[in-house]
Amino acid sequence: MSNFTDFFPAASGGGGGGIPKYEEFTSSGTFTPTQALIDAGGRVAYMIVGGGERGSTGSDKYYGGAGGQFKSGYMTLTSATGCAVTIGAGGTGSDGANGGSSSIVFSSAGGTDITALGGSGNAHTNYAGYGGETRTSGWQLATSPHPGHFGGYGGGGGALYAYDYGGGISTAEANMGQGSSSARNASSGFVRITWFE
């Protein structure tokens, strides 16, 4: 289990293991690695979600917005220098507004920068899938998620690990990267960093 021993260096050295730590960001800020983290090998796990897209209209249909991109992985840091964290905003204002990208500047502490793009493009270019289309006149297309439904709003995109859902009729939940339906604001992004020391 090389991944286990990479993340928990004490496990292969016969020592006692570290204390788990984590930091979550629901707004932009700075992650500063502790010296204890660096001394323990500098290994961190990250989860990052971009902001969702606001749904839009097209012809006589509504389209749900795409959820933001989701990324997770590991990074090895070599210094206790602060790393800027940006939380992407959800699409707001006008229908079809793209979500903002979330990012962690790990390069400040010897790692590699990570960016999760905001949801965009409705039925074209998106990262977590786009919402079903709902017609505002006539019956909904048979290929839509709920055939035969009349009127309403298109939902947003798909989901991964309970993040980057597409929103339904109600406003998307904050810091989940959810796309929204037309006329509803989308959800902002999220970052979690976990480590042992």
- Whether this prediction's pTM lies above 0.85 is answered by no
> What pLDDT band is residue 183 in, cutting at 50, 70 and 90?
confident
DSSP string, 85-141: EEPPPPP-SSTTPPPPPEEE-GGGGTS--EEEPPP--TTSS-SS--PPEEESSSPPP
- Give the pLDDT confidence score for residue 168 in this predicted structure: 46
